[in-house]
Amino acid sequence: MAIKSRENRIDVLQGTLDMMILQILQWGPRHGLAIAQTIRTRSEDLLKIEAGSLYPALHRLQQQGWLTSEWKTSEKGQRAKYYRLTRTGRKQLLAEQSKWQRLLKAIHLVMRPNEE
Amino acid sequence: MQRWLNGLKALIYRRRNDQDLHDEVSAHLQMDAQERMESGVPPEEARQAARRDFGNVLRLTEDTRTAWGWITFEQCLQDLRYSLRNLWNRPAFTGIAVLTLALGIGASTTIFSIVNAALLRPLPYAEPDRLVAIHSVNQAQGGTPSIVSPADFREWRDQSTSFEHMAAYSGGDLLPAWIGERPETIAVTRVTWNFFRTFGVTPVLGHDFKESDESNRASGDMNVVVSYRLWLARFGADPTVVGRKIKTTWGSVTIAGVMPPQFRFPDSAEMWTPIACCAEMTLRTRYWRVVGRLRAGITAEVAQDELESVAGQLAKLYPKDNRNWSVLVVPIAQDLVRDVRQALWILMGAVGFVVLIACANVAGLMLVRSASRRREMAVRLALGAGRFRLIRQLLLEGALLSLASAAAGLLLARWSIDAFFRLLPQTSWIPLARFRDGVQLDAAVLLFTIFISVVTAVVLTLTPAADSLKLALAESIRTGSKLQSPREHRAFKLLVVAQLACAIVLLAGAGLLMQSFVRMLNVENGYDPRGLIIMGFPQPAQDRQAFIDEALQRIKAVPGVESAALMSAARFGQLNFAINIEDRPLANGDVVVRYSSVTSDYFRVLKLSVIAGRVFDTRDSANAPAVVMINERLAREYFPGQDPVGRKIVVSYNNRRTPREIIGVVSDVRQEGPRDPVRPEVLVHWAQSPWIAATLVIRATGDPRAAQLGVREAIWSVDRNLPAYPTQTIEEALSSQVATPRLYMILFGVFSALAVALAALGIYGLLAHIVSRRRNELAIRMALGARRSNIVRLIVNEGIHLSIAGIAFGLLGTIALTRLMRSLLFEVNPTDPLTFAGVSILLLVVALTACYIPARRAAKTDPVAALRHD
């Protein structure tokens, strides 16, 4: 699940893609391309998700029951498969968020520059 | 579970899912290209860029499919192929494992299918749970279930409310009938009119008895119901048989109905006739059997309580006949298998041990294999295979092995069920033989086999799985298969000890049964069985005494017949009568003893010795004073330290009490065969008290078959119209009496032979494994000067320790378990020390022989070659 930025490669921590997908879908149903684009723009082009990672992740999340999908026509009149967060998916997102916050805090504490 | 379900769904909907994914990918590409075009990129370039950005579509498809879960299935197929290849490439291992398990599964399936037919399958009657057998029991005589008097039956029936129906029957009569040209004998059971209604079974043809049939019997025109078998065999399944009249020695009878094939109660019955209601119902002699159908919601215990209080009143009203007599209500399913229930469960337990040994054996083999596969496992783990997948693969191998074994085991069971029943004579009174037709490999049996194989598969898998996966992975790779693992050896040793322990339990059981059997064969029956023939004796309707005198004369003249006599039942002393002592009545009232009516030559035919007084002769005619002879057992029990000759015994029969003077004491005969003790018996002279049915007993010299034919001709020379009756030599009868114990002995023998062979294989396998593992060490020892005998001793010692541990544990278990066999044993203590010592030595010798082979091989190792090889 290597995610490339324009300038340099960032190896995203395992599992964070799932979390990001859930995060983005909480604002409403979206199709795969839109999800990838949202991640890219929200990360200010630092993260670019490959379709090869995105779609397996989407299908996995759907198997888990956190997402549902349906075919709909977009505003531009194209047919696309839209993913939507389920209730359990929302719960999962909350859990992931708090886990992530704690992890960030922990890493931040370890990585602070000054030595006691 | 969810995973598997998803996998299954994914497999079924695979095409649809694939199409969906394809559509999704195209939509993505199209939208991406569209957006690029909108920002001014030329169409062709936009499409290419979209495709480039998208990456490898094939790889994406693969990865997404994994997410669907169907990969699990593909992996399973892969694992299956891999497992099959694995087993195929090690034919020796696979062959031994399958054979061992098949023996275990086959043996247990065989026994289970008999248990299923005899104990588990519901009886072919309507609501069999509500059917009970009702016995009289005499508390003063040990409380064993006994037959019932018609008078008691009437009171029970009329005074109880627990029963929807209560019916009585009395079997064993042979009725001469003319269906074809020659007279034939039909086994008749006389029943009350509601007999079939009690069972809730209706005839397939015609109708069953009505209440009026009981009184019609007296008027001479009797309705009868015939069995399906008789209908097939004697009436050629004629659909118009109902209403047909048959000539019999009881007069003409009319066939009213044909029962369905599964209705066989009692087993021997070919024809059912109504009892004579009114006259017979007042008799106080016990010769009926009673069955009842409980009202819905009433339990056997409630009925028992009710009948007990009725019996209590009867005991007060009729102290002479009923004092100490109570009643016993038993569910009929239990009553039918009383004799075999415990034996079958014991056999089931024994076969369980065989299965355990087989499992332990194959688990040992798997352990050795898993040790040699440890490197393979470690490499696969290192390459990223999940532990779960490795366990699953092992489980699959175990499942394949037990599946193959289950198939082989079922074949084995089919064959051995036949063999089982071939060990029993075709006599319906042998309790196990009557289940012959019911034993099939039906759904219940298949379910049992599947259950056993699943359990085996799990056991087989988990032993080595736990072993090979617990090990630190890195260490395994580093040291490879040369790792000397004490844990693996300990597990293997435990398995071998367990096998030896189980084997000793079975061996001890077989030893005890064998001793019982030998003792049973050597029992003193009280008479010389060689050349004795018993034969049903037909009698004409009139002038019986004249016919008997004439026929006996001619029979004695038949070449090869030494002597001949008549007796009142098909075997010695089978009737039960109540007696008392005239001048000094017994404190507890009448006692029931065995009763025989015999002609005067009876004692000479059986070669009995007269202990005191004399035997019957012409003085004891019908008009002379009533006399009786008693057996030694009765003399000792009721005339201790006295001379019984000249005293008088009161014999009750048909509500008449006849005082009879004792004229002699004769030596004992075991009435019930070798397993049962001699019962007190009175014998009366045929001339004074003829019995309604007669059996001829002949002592023949030379070929009994020739004598039989001669006797038959002799009878026909007196009366051409009499039917031929069944014949049996006493030796045949005795051997069928020991047939069931013989069967148990043979089964235990087979099981324990299997057990010993498997246990020997187990200990052999262990030592061979140890030897191959310690080849280096042994080679070094030899290089340093150890002699071959030292090496042999080293290895054999290991085996001795294990054998002794196994035997010691086994003996502890044996002491606990053989107690349960007590009912199968005859004059042998269940913890007979001699048997235990014998089987221990036997097993030790076998185990040591098994140890010696690998030990010798170890000693023959060339140390140089062994060391260079590494």
Q: Note the pLDDT tens digit of each residue in A55-84.
A: 888 888 888 889 998 888 887 788 889 999
Whether B32 sits inside 8 A of A80 (CB atoms) is no
Residues B48 and B170 reside in one and the same domain: no
The whole-number pLDDT of residue B50 equals 85
Looking from the CA of B488 toward its CB, the CA atoms found within 13 Å total 27
Is residue B28, in this structure, part of any structural domain at all?
yes
Q: Note the pLDDT tens digit of each residue in B650-672.
A: 998 777 888 999 999 999 998 88
The whole-number pLDDT of residue A4 equals 42
Average pLDDT of the segment spanning B680-685 = 94
Q: Note the pLDDT tens digit of each residue in B727-749.
A: 888 888 888 778 888 888 998 99
Q: Which residue of A has its CA nearest to B6?
A: A63
Whether B25 sits inside 8 A of A76 (CB atoms) is no
Whether A56 sits inside 8 A of B20 (CB atoms) is no
Q: How far apart are CA B554 and CA B518, in angstroms?
A: 40
CB nearest to A63's CB, from B20, B63, B67: B67
Q: Which pair of tokens denotes residue B419? A: 């063999």
Looking from the CA of B183 toward its CB, the CA atoms found within 13 Å total 20
Domain residue spans of chain A: 3-111
| Banded model confidence at residue B2, pLDDT cuts 50, 70, 90 | low
CB nearest to B27's CB, from A60, A63, A81: A81
Residues B240 and B324 reside in one and the same domain: yes
Q: Note the pLDDT tens digit of each residue in B292-322.
A: 999 999 999 999 999 999 999 998 888 877 8
**CB of A68 less than 8 A from some CB of B:** no
Q: Which residues of B242-274 are buried (b: 16+ CB within 10 A; e: fewer)?
A: beeebebbbeebebbbbbeeebbbbebbbbbbb
| Banded model confidence at residue B441, pLDDT cuts 50, 70, 90 | confident
Total tally of structural domains belonging to chain B: 3
- Chain A closest CA to B66's CA: distance in Å? 8
Residues B49 and B150 reside in one and the same domain: no
Average pLDDT of the segment spanning B395-409 = 88
Q: How far apart are CA B692 and CA B166, in angstroms?
A: 27
- Chain B closest CA to A33's CA: distance in Å? 6
| Banded model confidence at residue A6, pLDDT cuts 50, 70, 90 | very low
- Chain B closest CA to A11's CA: distance in Å? 18
Whether B28 sits inside 8 A of A79 (CB atoms) is no
Q: Note the pLDDT tens digit of each residue in B129-143.
A: 899 999 998 887 677
Q: Which residue of B has its CA nearest to A77?
A: B31
Q: Which pair of tokens denotes residue B337? A: 């298998």
- In sequence order, which residues have a C-beta less than 8 Å from that of residue B533 and are 6 or more positions away? B697, B698, B699, B700, B704, B707, B708, B711, B727, B728, B729, B730
- Chain B closest CA to A113's CA: distance in Å? 37
Mean pLDDT, chain B, whole residue set: 84
Average pLDDT of the segment spanning B506-528 = 88
Q: Which residue of B has its CA nearest to A4?
A: B53
Q: Is B145 exposed, middle or buried (0-12, 13-18, 19+ CB in 10 A)?
A: middle
pLDDT over 90 at B236, yes or no: no
Residues B195 and B325 reside in one and the same domain: yes
Q: How far apart are CA B424 and CA B428, in angstroms?
A: 10
Say what percent of chain B tops pLDDT 90.
28
| Banded model confidence at residue B457, pLDDT cuts 50, 70, 90 | confident
pLDDT over 60 at A2, yes or no: no
The whole-number pLDDT of residue B429 equals 59
Q: Which pair of tokens denotes residue B820? A: 């349960």
Q: How far apart are CA B744 and CA B346, in angstroms?
A: 10
The whole-number pLDDT of residue B132 equals 94
Contact A65, A83 (CB under 8 A): no
Cα distance between the two ends of chain A: 36
Whether B28 sits inside 8 A of A33 (CB atoms) is yes
The whole-number pLDDT of residue B705 equals 80
Residues B55 and B166 reside in one and the same domain: no
Interface test with B, best of A17, A41, A63 (most B CBs within 10 A): A63
Q: What is A3-111's CATH number?
A: 1.10.10.10
Q: Which residue numbers of B have CB closer than 8 Å to A's CBs?
A: 6, 20-21, 23-25, 27-28, 30-32, 34, 53-56, 59-60, 63-64, 66-69
| Stronger pLDDT, B428 or A23, i.e. the higher one | A23
Q: Which residue of B has its CA nearest to A33?
A: B28
Is residue B142, in this structure, part of any structural domain at all?
yes
Name every chain B residue with its beta carbon within 8 A of the beta carbon of A79.
Answer: 27
Bond preceding residue B559 cis, omega within 30 of 0:
no
Is residue B256, in this structure, part of any structural domain at all?
yes
Hey, is B325 helix, strand or coil?
strand
The whole-number pLDDT of residue B538 equals 83
Average pLDDT of the segment spanning B572-581 = 85
CB nearest to A52's CB, from B23, B34, B55: B55
The whole-number pLDDT of residue A7 equals 45
| Banded model confidence at residue B480, pLDDT cuts 50, 70, 90 | very low
pLDDT over 80 at B804, yes or no: yes
Least confident range from B163-167, B194-198, B609-613, B705-709: namely B705-709
Name every chain A residue with its beta carbon within 8 A of the beta carbon of B6.
Answer: 63
Interface test with A, best of B17, B31, B38 (most A CBs within 10 A): B31
The whole-number pLDDT of residue B555 equals 93
Q: Which pair of tokens denotes residue B640? A: 């201790």
Q: How far apart are CA B460 and CA A116, in angstroms?
A: 58
| Banded model confidence at residue B278, pLDDT cuts 50, 70, 90 | low
Which residues numbered 20-49 in A keep a CB inside 8 Å of some CB on B?
31-33
| Stronger pLDDT, B290 or B139, i.e. the higher one | B290
The whole-number pLDDT of residue B493 equals 86
| Of B69, B89, B106, the domain-final residue | B69
- Chain A closest CA to B24's CA: distance in Å? 6
In this structure, chain A runs to a length of 116
Whether A32 sits inside 8 A of B68 (CB atoms) is no
Interface test with A, best of B24, B30, B34 (most A CBs within 10 A): B24
| Banded model confidence at residue B472, pLDDT cuts 50, 70, 90 | very low
The whole-number pLDDT of residue B751 equals 92
The whole-number pLDDT of residue B484 equals 47
Q: Note the pLDDT tens digit of each residue in B542-568.
A: 888 889 999 999 999 999 899 999 998
Name the residue range of residue B588's domain: 532-737
The whole-number pLDDT of residue B71 equals 54
| Stronger pLDDT, B683 or B171, i.e. the higher one | B683
pLDDT over 70 at B6, yes or no: no
The whole-number pLDDT of residue B607 equals 92
Is residue B607, in this structure, part of any structural domain at all?
yes
The whole-number pLDDT of residue B486 equals 59
Q: Which residue of A has its CA nearest to B54?
A: A51
| Banded model confidence at residue B595, pLDDT cuts 50, 70, 90 | very high
Residues B50 and B156 reside in one and the same domain: no
Residues B636 and B724 reside in one and the same domain: yes
Is residue B284, in this structure, part of any structural domain at all?
yes
Whether B64 sits inside 8 A of A80 (CB atoms) is no
- The model carries a pTM of 0.69
The whole-number pLDDT of residue B870 equals 53
Residues B64 and B172 reside in one and the same domain: no
The whole-number pLDDT of residue B602 equals 94
The whole-number pLDDT of residue B661 equals 95
Residues B628 and B698 reside in one and the same domain: yes
Return contacts of B543-546, CB within 8 angstroms, 24+ apart. Answer: B544/B690, B545/B622, B545/B687, B545/B690
The whole-number pLDDT of residue A116 equals 55
Say what percent of chain B tops pLDDT 70.
90
Cα distance between the two ends of chain B: 48
Q: Are strands B532-537 and B727-729 parallel, antiparallel or unpaired?
A: antiparallel
Q: Note the pLDDT tens digit of each residue in B808-820.
A: 999 999 988 888 8
Residues B695 and B554 reside in one and the same domain: yes
pLDDT over 70 at B448, yes or no: yes
pLDDT over 80 at B464, yes or no: no
Amino acid present at B851: C
Average pLDDT of the segment spanning B226-240 = 90
Is residue B172, in this structure, part of any structural domain at all?
yes
Hey, is B670 helix, strand or coil?
coil
- Chain A closest CA to B28's CA: distance in Å? 6
Q: Which pair of tokens denotes residue B741? A: 């114990």
The residues that bridge with B168 in the sheet, in sequence order, are: B290
CB nearest to A52's CB, from B23, B59, B68: B59
Phi, psi of B738 (to 5 degrees): -95, 5
Looking from the CA of B754 toward its CB, the CA atoms found within 13 Å total 28
Name every chain B residue with its beta carbon within 8 A of the beta carbon of A33.
Answer: 27-28, 31-32
Q: How far apart are CA B150 and CA B156, in angstroms?
A: 10
Q: How far apart are CA B509 and CA A80, in angstroms?
A: 76
Name every chain A residue with its beta carbon within 8 A of the beta carbon of B68.
Answer: 59, 63
Residues B183 and B315 reside in one and the same domain: yes
The whole-number pLDDT of residue B430 equals 67
Which residues numbered 71-100 in A keep a CB inside 8 Å of some CB on B?
71, 74, 76, 78-81
